[in-house]
């Protein structure tokens, strides 16, 4: 997985927690505007990899290796440098949009907060921008909605708010950690479509973290499969999903295919019992 001009280049990343390497030598790279999936089950180290890149690991974690954005080292940088980058160059959206938003702050302010922080927008300019962004992520009645609080929104709407806030400063890289896992399937489809459209419009690179192979197929071009903190397989998404080389990937794929009802496998037809 090498790109000529890497936007993000992670080399031999290790995260150590209480004597255990939870991320154990992970390397991958992303070119500008590229969409890459990071696949793995719970405990595979995929979320910690993302948090390490953002410098947001919980205390007690020891990180070694390197993660470079535009060639600039992110690991071991001071918190001030990193917080300047976060929101401007790097943004992240999380699995639980309900806990990712401040329950006591109006939605509009949460969308425009990064603009005021990093771009020096005035209060009024930020308020106008918030309405624009709310409209851009497909939130209904944006004028009124920016004045509401997170609990007044549905789960899908809250995730749209998170996406708007994350993309407000046009970051070079968006990290999405299971952004649709907590949502209903129909809402998931909408959010995935929205996310795909926005990142391609803005030329933002996307690092998409998920356990769901079918979701990653819908969003990314390339992927890396993680297991026990190691990359076990990388390649073009289509190739890996059609002909996985690693036995663990094959196992994951077989498990995921079991619940794809219209894939014609002899095994799934035999399994269903109809008395």
Q: Which residues bind another protein (CB under 8 A)?
A: 41-42, 155, 184-189, 192, 211-215, 217-218, 238, 241-242, 251-265, 268, 271-275
Shortest distance, CB of residue 145 to another protein, whole angstroms? 20
The CA distance from 5 to 171, in Å, is 17
Shortest distance, CB of residue 231 to another protein, whole angstroms? 18
Residue 64 CB-half CA count within 13 A: 7
- If the CB atoms of residues 54 and 253 are measured against another protein, the closer one turns out to be 253
- If the CB atoms of residues 86 and 158 are measured against another protein, the closer one turns out to be 158
Shortest distance, CB of residue 215 to another protein, whole angstroms? 5
Shortest distance, CB of residue 41 to another protein, whole angstroms? 4
Shortest distance, CB of residue 165 to another protein, whole angstroms? 23
Give the total residue count for the chain.
275
- If the CB atoms of residues 5 and 193 are measured against another protein, the closer one turns out to be 193
Shortest distance, CB of residue 212 to another protein, whole angstroms? 7
- If the CB atoms of residues 71 and 261 are measured against another protein, the closer one turns out to be 261
Structure tokens at 106: 């109006």
- If the CB atoms of residues 43 and 203 are measured against another protein, the closer one turns out to be 43
Q: What is the DSSP string of the chain?
A: ---SSEEEEEEEEEEEETTEEEEEEEEEEEETT-EEEEE--TTSSHHHHHHHHHT-PPTTEEEEEEEEETTEE-TT--HHHHHHHBTTTEEEE-S-HHHHS-TTS-HHHHHHHHHHHHS---HHHHHHHHHHHHHHTT-SSHHHHTTS-GGGS-HHHHHHHHHHHHHTT--SEEEEESTTTTS-HHHHHHHHHHHHHHHHHHT-EEEEEES-HHHHHHH-SEEEEEETTEEEEEEEHHHHHHS--SHHHHHHHHHHHTT-TTS--HHHHHH----
- If the CB atoms of residues 50 and 191 are measured against another protein, the closer one turns out to be 191
Shortest distance, CB of residue 269 to another protein, whole angstroms? 10
- If the CB atoms of residues 41 and 246 are measured against another protein, the closer one turns out to be 41
């Amino acid at each position: 997985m090498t790109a000529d001009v890497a936007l993000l280049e992670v080399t031999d990343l290790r995260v150590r927690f209480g004597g255990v390497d939870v991320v154990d030598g992970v390397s991958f790279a992303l070119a500008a505007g590229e969409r890459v999936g990071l696949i793995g089950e719970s405990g595979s180290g995929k979320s910690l990899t993302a948090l390490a890149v953002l410098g947001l690991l919980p205390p007690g974690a020891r990180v070694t290796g390197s993660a470079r954005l535009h060639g600039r080292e992110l690991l071991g940088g001071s918190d001030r440098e990193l917080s300047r980058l976060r929101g401007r160059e790097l943004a992240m959206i999380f699995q639980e949009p309900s806990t990712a938003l401040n329950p006591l702050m109006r939605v509009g302010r949460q969308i425009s907060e990064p603009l005021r922080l990093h771009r020096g927008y005035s209060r009024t300019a930020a308020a106008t921008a918030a309405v624009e962004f709310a409209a851009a992520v497909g939130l209904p009645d944006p004028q009124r909605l920016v004045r509401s609080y997170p609990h007044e929104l549905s789960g899908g709407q809250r995730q749209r708010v998170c996406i708007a806030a994350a993309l407000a400063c046009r970051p070079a890289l968006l990290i999405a950690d299971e952004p649709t896992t907590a949502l209903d399937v129909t809402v998931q489809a909408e959010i995935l479509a929205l996310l795909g459209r926005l990142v391609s419009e803005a030329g933002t690179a996307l690092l998409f973290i998920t356990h769901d192979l079918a979701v990653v197929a819908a969003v990314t071009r390339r992927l890396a499969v993680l297991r026990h903190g190691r990359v076990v397989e990388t390649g073009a998404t289509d190739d890996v999903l059609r002909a996985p080389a690693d036995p663990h990937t094959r196992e994951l794929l077989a498990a995921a295919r079991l619940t794809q009802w219209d894939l014609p496998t002899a095994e799934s037809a035999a399994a269903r019992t109809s008395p």
